[in-house]
Structure 1
Amino acid sequence: MTEAIWIFFAFTLGLLARGAGLPPLVGYLVAGFTLHGVSDELGMDTESSEILEHLAHLGVLLLLFTVGLKLKFRSILRPEVIGGGLIHFAITCLIFMPGLYLLLDIGSQEALLLAIALSFSSTVLAAKVLESKQELRAFHGRVAIGILIVQDLIALVVMSVTSGNTPSGFAVLVFALPLLRPLLFRLMDASGHDELLVLLGLMLALAIGGMGFEVVGLSSELGALLMGALLAKHPRAVELSNSLWSVKEVFLVGFFLQIGMSGLPDDHALLFAVIAALLMPLKGILFFVLLLVFRLRSRSSFLSSLLLANYSEFGLILASVALPQWLVPLAVTVALSFVLSAPINRLAHPLYARLARYIDPLESSKRHPDEQPVSLGDTRVLVIGMGRTGTAAYEELRQTESRLMGLDSDPARLKGHREAGRNVFFADAEDYNFWQHLDMPGLEAVILCLHDIEGKKIAARRLRERGFDGFIAAHTLHEDEVAQIRDAGADDAYLTMSETGVALAGHVNHHLNSGSRTPLPESLG
């Protein structure tokens, strides 16, 4: 009966929040506060609260596991991501801690932890905003998500330090986790695309990562994140994350309900939330300035900063571990920041258009290497994705085609291609802004050799939207992805393994029919 009441309140108020243009989790927090106010009348007991607490913990573990699935160090180990995230964190704590210490009359450690909780920005809100605008893979989206992952890692370190757990001697086994990656990859491949894949994710996040790390005295949150990170390089990591999305979201409803049910906000909590909300512009301005320092364009800096100018659910997770007395004020603060940030981010592009003439002059004259404009000029054939397959295609075409260009989003890879004399430039084919400004007057054919199927689909779709009517070919490892790539606009998609077999057979035929084959000895003939 109690669970039915939770679901009713969460759905009703979540739906009302969505109708008002706000993230549903604002409604879930309000539902929790409402349930706290009427808990006696509804007869909610201690056992039901313990169930909700357990569901909330599972939601947090799944959230961290899915963050780990996106933890690709190549996208994080960049100056603007690490530098921007760490410098902003340090400056925010240096500013917030003394103010909180003096104004709230609390201890220095408590003030520091509270400042840390307020320094984080919302991963959930940013991901939802970027997803709704199809900008998760845009340059400003990748920068924002990278900074958020840096913040999430900081939060985990702080939680591990403040939890007070003493690791056992078996905790050193954590360093051997990378040895499990081949086994985990095989399990991913064997799990298919249905419920077994979901169960694998739940087992790794909750059983091995969560419970396993607790057994050796380590943080279960850290375990869930690391198990996700071990799978981040698997081609189906995105599919696993998408499969767990609904399960994670349902459990996270319990987390926000639990926060609301921990107590109603009083006048002090409301005042704290309002003052913190007034500081949100300063938080965004600091991000904007730092990203400009790292040579991002004003547009990318502005859009990333808007995404990060809010407070985070990770602040609530930290508070649940280290600052339980501040959980309600922080919950109201996070909810209010979402109320303000969500509609502003929906208007981010029109806002930039209005402010461009004021903020564009602030750009560095030396652009970030990831934002160099690319002109295709008289290029006739374009290879997108210069990994092993793309390089092989490029080399084959180079024998007969002079108007050839390759594109890749890995700056480190570009250096090797240019040293080898290949005409390769930086461009992120999954970035909407790249296609929006692309000039391709002589282009006749495109080969998509991107590793990620989503990248292939985005590139094919954007090319067709720009009016390109030439030939688009792609390769894929999985037969069920062929139709998806064709539906996105490609003329054809070839199975990599099948084409490899055809090429091998062609080599054998050439060898057999060339007339230069050395005959086998008679004794072996």
Structure 2
Amino acid sequence: MIEAVWIAFAFGLGLLFKQVGLPPLIGYLGAGFALSLLGERVGVGPDDSYILTHIAHLGVLLLLFTVGLKLKVKNLVRPEVVGGSLLHFGLSTALFLPAFLYLLDLPLGEASLLAMALSFSSTVLAAKVLEGKRELRAFHGRVAIGVLIMQDLIALVAISIASGKSPSSWALMVLILPLCKPILYKLLDLSGHEELMVLLGLLLALVVGGAGFETLGLSSELGALAFGAMLAGHKRAGELSQSLWSLKEIFLVGFFLQIGLGGLPDQHALIFALVMTLLLPLKSALFFALFVGFKLRARSAFLSSLTLTNYSEFGLIMASLVLPQWLVPLALTVAFSFVISAPLNRIVHSIYEHIAPLLTRFERDIRHPDEQPITLDDAQILIMGLGRTGRAAYDNLSEKGYRVIALDSDPVAVETSLQAGRRALFADAEDPVFWQNLDMPNIHSVILAMNDAEAKTITVHNLRGRGFDGLIVSHAMYEDIARRIIQAGADHTYLTMSEAGTGLAEHVARSIQERSRLLSDGQSEIRPPGRPPQPDAQA
């Protein structure tokens, strides 16, 4: 059974790469190349890739749909996103084009398409890496994803033009999609919290968005992204994204396997891929220069640039349609770029700390509006994180008369809290420059309510490192994480589930005491409001 072979190879090599500290997705790529090499000896025939191609396509659609769930259109219409993506596309294509024309002796049309294919960065890898580090909504994550979406749109236009296909006359129907948002919101409300919600996500991503846009002569990827973005403002968008997580991850394994199964490279393809991999620093440097030019600080520019330092799966899509002779060299190039980019993005914060003195020299004197220094004024208690725990702590302490302020790296969470009347500011707790510029003269207590354990330990280190001797309290899901936060310098760490159980027990104890008090006062029966007295069973 061919599916068993795929799963066995993907799991085996994925686990192997995970054990040596590399992302499992590199193992999935290796599994694809291994299956391509072994071929029929392990039961993989030339006709078996059709199913995997379909699975891979579903994985990409689900990924783009979940990315759309975390985005707002207004985050795309920003100078650093629009300008950065367009300028990088133009400059990158212009740099590659002469080399392909004269060194590879390619025709102008073929050289232009190949240069375009290599100017894009991988949405799949970048979104997966950012999601894994929970930085998809951080400022540098939003910049990177915004640029990737712009690149995807450019790629889709380029593919449409190069393939000679044009949208149908019904394609203008997509202009009325914003009018459907109330219907989509209602469907999400009615779907509940279980399998119906998952089915709704699949329906919108794969059927309405994917197949629907293809019927109109448009890209299915664009359709999945568009329907995800339309639901981004719904309060349950995050829950829908989480419910699709496992399905998306499984289907994306098929995507990485498919890249490897595209074929084994010859010597020329290998040389081409190695040369293009050596040029990755040029791609990163160009992004960094453009982002700094758009007023981003060096840290944000560097983090966004390194996220984009890879080659794109859209280059493979373009090759499969209009450059079939380049499919294998481009597949190997994309694979090599993933091998380089994924590990680097795991340690990107450490890399920046070592080279920050060099990079900060390129910063402009004018700062981006989202990266201005933060002053906490008269606030007494600082809450880091505006999820359910952070909001509950804020509201409770405010009711007790404390002056509270909250910080979060998610602009949507900040905006929602501001609308609810809370004092909230945008900030990335993992940004060392943020801590250097933070003014908190009256803060005597800090509550860490972020989800990410590493962000909590980094926050504690930064607080203690800048001389803060006040109270630091955190919550944690597991005991080992709680110990790490305490070792970093926190005063108290509470286990979330244990505290929930303790709180529930206290509510029960108070209810028992209240019932006992009323019985002692002479009331013969205590009933919930609205429940009629029960007839005597013996009567």
Q: TM-score range by the shorter chain?
A: 0.7 to 0.9
Deviation per residue, 1:326-375 (Å, 9 max, x gap): 22111111111122223333332333233233232221122222211112
Aligned to 1:37: 37
> 1:340 corresponds to which letter in structure 2?
I
Inter-CA distance 405–69: structure 2 relative to 1 (3 Å threshold): closer
Q: Give the distance between the partners of 1:53 and 1:367, measured in 2 at CA.
A: 45
Q: Give the distance between the partners of 1:433 and 1:134, measured in 2 at CA.
A: 17
Inter-CA distance 456–490: structure 2 relative to 1 (3 Å threshold): farther
Q: Give the distance between the partners of 1:52 and 1:119, measured in 2 at CA.
A: 27
Aligned to 2:526: none
Q: How does 1:146-161 map to 2 (within 5 A)?
A: 146-161=146-161
8 A Cα contact 1:26 1:338, kept in partner: yes
**1:428 is the counterpart of 2:427:** yes
Report the alpha carbon displacement of residue 163 of structure 1 after superposing the two structures with TM.
4.0
Percent identity, aligned pairs only, is 56
Aligned to 2:418: none
Report the alpha carbon displacement of residue 271 of structure 1 after superposing the two structures with TM.
0.5
Report the alpha carbon displacement of residue 381 of structure 1 after superposing the two structures with TM.
7.0
**1:285 is the counterpart of 2:272:** no
> 1:354 corresponds to which letter in structure 2?
H
8 A Cα contact 2:60 2:252, kept in partner: yes
Aligned to 2:188: 188
Aligned to 1:68: 68
**Helix, strand or coil at the partner of 1:104:** coil
Aligned to 1:346: 346
Report the alpha carbon displacement of residue 488 of structure 1 after superposing the two structures with TM.
10
> 2:311 corresponds to which letter in structure 1?
Y
Q: Give the distance between the partners of 1:461 and 1:348, measured in 2 at CA.
A: 17
> 1:226 corresponds to which letter in structure 2?
A
Aligned to 1:87: 87
**1:204 is the counterpart of 2:204:** yes
> 1:276 corresponds to which letter in structure 2?
M
Q: Give the distance between the partners of 2:161 and 2:278, measured in 1 at CA.
A: 30
8 A Cα contact 1:139 1:431, kept in partner: no
Q: Give the distance between the partners of 2:63 and 2:408, measured in 1 at CA.
A: 31
Deviation per residue, 1:156-184 (Å, 9 max, x gap): 22233334334333322221111211111
8 A Cα contact 1:121 1:309, kept in partner: yes
Report the alpha carbon displacement of residue 47 of structure 1 after superposing the two structures with TM.
4.7
**Helix, strand or coil at the partner of 1:440:** coil
Report the alpha carbon displacement of residue 114 of structure 1 after superposing the two structures with TM.
1.5
Aligned to 2:356: 356
Deviation per residue, 1:194-216 (Å, 9 max, x gap): 22222111111111112222223
Aligned to 1:117: 117
Aligned to 1:476: none
Aligned to 1:417: none
Report the alpha carbon displacement of residue 39 of structure 1 after superposing the two structures with TM.
2.2
Q: Give the distance between the partners of 1:378 and 1:439, measured in 2 at CA.
A: 10
8 A Cα contact 1:269 1:328, kept in partner: yes
Q: Give the distance between the partners of 1:21 and 1:359, measured in 2 at CA.
A: 27
Q: Give the distance between the partners of 2:256 and 2:34, measured in 1 at CA.
A: 12
For structure 1, which segment, 87-96 or 322-331, has the greater mean C-alpha deviation from structure 2 after superposition? 322-331
8 A Cα contact 1:144 1:304, kept in partner: yes
Q: Give the distance between the partners of 1:229 and 1:287, measured in 2 at CA.
A: 25
Inter-CA distance 471–53: structure 2 relative to 1 (3 Å threshold): closer
Inter-CA distance 408–37: structure 2 relative to 1 (3 Å threshold): closer
Q: How does 1:390-409 map to 2 (within 5 A)?
A: none
Inter-CA distance 51–385: structure 2 relative to 1 (3 Å threshold): closer
**1:337 is the counterpart of 2:344:** no
8 A Cα contact 2:28 2:257, kept in partner: yes
Aligned to 1:260: 260
Report the alpha carbon displacement of residue 457 of structure 1 after superposing the two structures with TM.
11
Report the alpha carbon displacement of residue 432 of structure 1 after superposing the two structures with TM.
5.5
Q: Give the distance between the partners of 1:97 and 1:18, measured in 2 at CA.
A: 38
Q: Give the distance between the partners of 2:197 and 2:433, measured in 1 at CA.
A: 34
Aligned to 2:244: 244
Report the alpha carbon displacement of residue 424 of structure 1 after superposing the two structures with TM.
7.8
Deviation per residue, 1:484-511 (Å, 9 max, x gap): x9949999xxxxxxxxxxxxxxxxxxxx
Report the alpha carbon displacement of residue 463 of structure 1 after superposing the two structures with TM.
8.3
- Structure 1 unaligned spans of 5+: 415-421, 473-484, 492-525
Aligned to 1:516: none
8 A Cα contact 1:171 1:218, kept in partner: yes
**Helix, strand or coil at the partner of 1:259:** helix
Q: Give the distance between the partners of 2:15 and 2:181, measured in 1 at CA.
A: 41
Report the alpha carbon displacement of residue 113 of structure 1 after superposing the two structures with TM.
1.9
Aligned to 1:298: 298
> 1:64 corresponds to which letter in structure 2?
L
> 2:219 corresponds to which letter in structure 1?
S
Inter-CA distance 96–404: structure 2 relative to 1 (3 Å threshold): same
Inter-CA distance 385–27: structure 2 relative to 1 (3 Å threshold): closer
The two structures, once aligned, show a CA RMSD in angstroms of 4.2
Question: Normalization by structure 2: what TM-score?
Answer: 0.74
Q: Give the distance between the partners of 2:456 and 2:359, measured in 1 at CA.
A: 33
Q: How does 1:140-179 map to 2 (within 5 A)?
A: 140-179=140-179
Aligned to 2:374: 374
Inter-CA distance 13–74: structure 2 relative to 1 (3 Å threshold): same
> 2:365 corresponds to which letter in structure 1?
S
Inter-CA distance 381–276: structure 2 relative to 1 (3 Å threshold): same
Q: Give the distance between the partners of 2:407 and 2:249, measured in 1 at CA.
A: 37
8 A Cα contact 2:122 2:314, kept in partner: yes
8 A Cα contact 2:385 2:450, kept in partner: no
Q: Give the distance between the partners of 1:180 and 1:209, measured in 2 at CA.
A: 13
Aligned to 2:234: 234
Inter-CA distance 91–138: structure 2 relative to 1 (3 Å threshold): same
Q: Give the distance between the partners of 2:351 and 2:459, measured in 1 at CA.
A: 27
8 A Cα contact 2:32 2:258, kept in partner: yes
**1:107 is the counterpart of 2:87:** no
Aligned to 1:522: none
Inter-CA distance 306–384: structure 2 relative to 1 (3 Å threshold): closer
> 2:269 corresponds to which letter in structure 1?
A
Report the alpha carbon displacement of residue 404 of structure 1 after superposing the two structures with TM.
8.3
**Helix, strand or coil at the partner of 2:358:** helix
For structure 1, which segment, 145-154 or 122-131, has the greater mean C-alpha deviation from structure 2 after superposition? 122-131
Q: Give the distance between the partners of 2:7 and 2:406, measured in 1 at CA.
A: 52
Q: Give the distance between the partners of 2:329 and 2:310, measured in 1 at CA.
A: 15
Question: Normalization by structure 1: what TM-score?
Answer: 0.76
Q: Give the distance between the partners of 1:137 and 1:225, measured in 2 at CA.
A: 16
Q: Give the distance between the partners of 1:344 and 1:370, measured in 2 at CA.
A: 26
Aligned to 1:16: 16
How many residues in Structure 1 have an aligned counterpart in Structure 2?
467
**1:49 is the counterpart of 2:45:** no
Report the alpha carbon displacement of residue 146 of structure 1 after superposing the two structures with TM.
2.2
For structure 1, which segment, 294-303 or 176-185, has the greater mean C-alpha deviation from structure 2 after superposition? 294-303
Aligned to 1:324: 324
8 A Cα contact 1:204 1:227, kept in partner: yes
8 A Cα contact 1:269 1:329, kept in partner: yes
Inter-CA distance 93–176: structure 2 relative to 1 (3 Å threshold): same
Inter-CA distance 248–381: structure 2 relative to 1 (3 Å threshold): closer
Report the alpha carbon displacement of residue 429 of structure 1 after superposing the two structures with TM.
6.5
8 A Cα contact 1:410 1:426, kept in partner: no
Q: Give the distance between the partners of 2:62 and 2:37, measured in 1 at CA.
A: 29
Report the alpha carbon displacement of residue 96 of structure 1 after superposing the two structures with TM.
0.9
Inter-CA distance 325–172: structure 2 relative to 1 (3 Å threshold): same
